[in-house]
A and B are shown apart, each in its own frame.
Chain A
Amino acid sequence: MKRVAIRSFRWFRNLPAVAAAGLVALVVLGAATAIILQSEASYRAQKSEEAQVQAGILAASLVAPLDFGDSAAAQEAAEAMRVNRQLRGVSIYDPSGKRIAGFRRDGQKPIPTLAEARTFVSPGIVAEAPVMRGRQQIGMVRLGIDRQPLDTRFGRYAVIALLVLMAALLVVVLGVAQAMLRRANRELAERAAALGEANAELTHQIAERAKAEEQLRQAQKMQALGQLTGGIAHDFNNLLTVIQGSADMLRRPTLNEDRRQRFAEAIVEASARAAGLTSQLLAFARRQPLQPEVIDVNAMIAGMIDLLDRTLGERFAIHTDLSGEVCMVEADRAQLASAVLNIAVNARDAMPDGGTLKIATQLVHDDTGSLVAICVTDNGTGMDAETIARAMEPFFTTKAAGKGTGLGLSQVYGFTTQSGGDLRIDSTPGEGTTVHILLPCSTALPAPEAEATQTETRAARIGAVLMVEDNEEVGEFAEALLRELGHAVTRARSGAEALVAAAERPFDVVLTDVVMPGMSGIELADQLHILQPTLPVVLTTGYSDEIARSGAGGRPVLLKPYRLETLAKVLDDALAGVAARDG
């Protein structure tokens, strides 16, 4: 209803343009009519004059025939006028008004006297001229001229009429077009406004969508975090169960020595695995400082065969195809071994019915230099392209819930890229998978393999140790270990406390935690270096952004959780450095 009202209003607004166009058209038509009428009048006048002239000429030529009463000659003169097709008729009268010669083109009977002829109203143009002999009128000529036939005249005016009509039409069309244009403009403006509204709506929706996406991302992050936490908690709970159970058993006084030893071993083993798990997490987060060393890859793989055999089980055969060339890389030994193990475990999971695992090494040369490739190949289920693409994503796993954290390949990828190498996966569904660990070649010589096991750990050197640790449990535990090793231990709970202690009495070595409230371990080490440049400082941390970022400044780093022998060795090295300097 409202729309109709608006429409009619628009029509009303268009009216002036249409009316003006109509008015102009009418004016044009009126002007054209006037022109035609004027033209008609002027044509009539012209024809009338023409007829008068012709009558005059005829009258002049009739002087002699009338003078001499020669009606035949008069007739001849009249007949000569026949060539003018518009001439309707000619009559020649004597002075008494009697017709003596002439013709009528229509073939009707001529009117015998001038007086009678004058009573007829002729449709055409009539002209009369007296025949004068000197001053004496001796006769009269009367002739009628047809007006141009109607169709000829119409033809003449039709052109004008057509032109005028077209002009009028043009004016009307222009008026209508103008009106339509105005309407179109109004509609355009309305549409532009609508478009603006739509755009605003769209912008609003985009903002809403961005907000929703942000929320979704947050939710996904939380979900991923949940997955991670779940996976870690699952693994950790298993390990803690072993540790807690073993510790409970150790408390029993009736326990014989053999079983006590077994439970202690179980605790050590479970703790080691837990440490490995946290280490993996940090490697995945690429926040664990790597401890690169020169490794002979071939020797390392050869040394891992037994471990792999035990890990995979009896149903799997392991083949090695080691390169004849020397393959040295600079990498974190534990991480590299862990990477190979990780891939081997994945291979095992891909071959539920058993199979063959092939480990090959080879030197690859590309434009960035020489690389050592460790290729682990299985003949298991393989992966499709989509799975390959997501294989290195953190938390992506094809294994059942609780069976894997989805961190394995992601961690391997983090390790290889951090070591300046790359990780590649080739796989065909149903045929198997090859994972390539690529690491840059090193020209350095390999370090001698450290003594792996020390049954009886004793400190080689004994000294005064300033131990800085804010965590009470860890502090007590570390203090106990240091005393067990034979060191004299002074405990400080913060950087400030440590500085006070260091000022009061001399120490041989400082063992400090890195992450502490207030002064950090690194800041403390820097302060101590200013006060006592020769005092060695050993940093210890579970993980530290600062160390990962800027390194330990050349100081030895003891990673938590640490074993007794590791602690002993680090402190020995530090004390040995002091001894060497001292002389």
Chain B
Amino acid sequence: MTAERFLSAACGALAAAWLLAASPACAQASEQAVKTAFLPKFARYIELAPAAQPAAGQPYYLCILGRDPFGQQLDRAAASEVIDGHAVAVRRFADASPAAVGGCHIAFVAGANDQATVAMLLTLRRQPTLTVTDARIGKAHGMIHFVLADGRVRFEIDNAGAAKRGVTISSRLLALAVQVKQ
């Protein structure tokens, strides 16, 4: 088992490369590329309150708040996802003005510093939005927090916080998390 895990860890890069190969636009098997591939997929494993769900024919909105570490590759990854007939659309905002972020279903939050990130997260707490943060960017935690474990991109999940906001995270996703806060 441990040997298996070691093997897996050793081949982590290869696995990531395969994932990116599944998305023809992502040619690099970098840490950033993995995160780029992951982000649109989260939409599949969450369930929002009925009022917050996208209307028929409307996409899930994946909002990048603050800095954008992904670039165009994220748009390509999002374009390959179709969830129950809903596409995934990427929106980028410099800050979290309530009027702007009201339609976000998933929000990657990366402020200039931790305070800025927390401030944006606080704004998003008023609405059912799955918030995602990155440990490489700061210490502020969203509902899903990217971390690097054994050289692989993994994530922590704050299931309790998500539940408070009306975001139900699939147990399948919870099973993949390195840590789940209940």
Contacts and interface: CB of A to CB of B under 8 A. Distances in A.
A226 interface: no
A138 B18 CA distance: 12
B176 A65 contact: yes
B172 A64 contact: yes
A134 B176 contact: no
Interface in A37-72: 61, 63-65, 67-72
Interface in B4-20: 4-5, 8-9, 11, 15-16, 18-19
A64 B44 CA distance: 9
Contacts of A133: 44
Contacts of A94: 18
Nearest to B22: A95
B3 to A, nearest CB: 11
Contact of A134 (B1, B19, B83): B83
In the complex, which range does the number of interface residues on chain B fall in?
A: 20 to 34
Interface string A117-147: 0000000000000000110001000000000
Contact of A75 (B8, B16, B83, B170): B8
B15 A69 contact: yes
A399 B172 CA distance: 140
A69 B18 contact: yes
A176 interface: no
B177 to A, nearest CB: 10
Given A63-B172, A134-B82, A68 B38 contact: yes
A134 B34 CA distance: 21
Contacts of A197: none
Most A CB within 10 A of own CB, among B9, B16, B22: B22
Given A75-B8, A79-B1, A64 B18 contact: no
A236 B124 CA distance: 174
A322 interface: no
B1 A67 contact: no
A57 to B, nearest CB: 13
17 contacts: A64-B45, A64-B172, A64-B173, A65-B175, A65-B176, A69-B15, A70-B176, A71-B11, A72-B4, A73-B176, A75-B1, A75-B4, A75-B5, A75-B8, A79-B1, A94-B18, A134-B83
Interface of A: 61, 63-65, 67-73, 75, 79, 94-96, 100, 133-134, 138
Given A94-B18, A100-B15, 7 more contacts: A64-B173, A64-B175, A67-B44, A68-B41, A69-B16, A69-B18, A133-B44
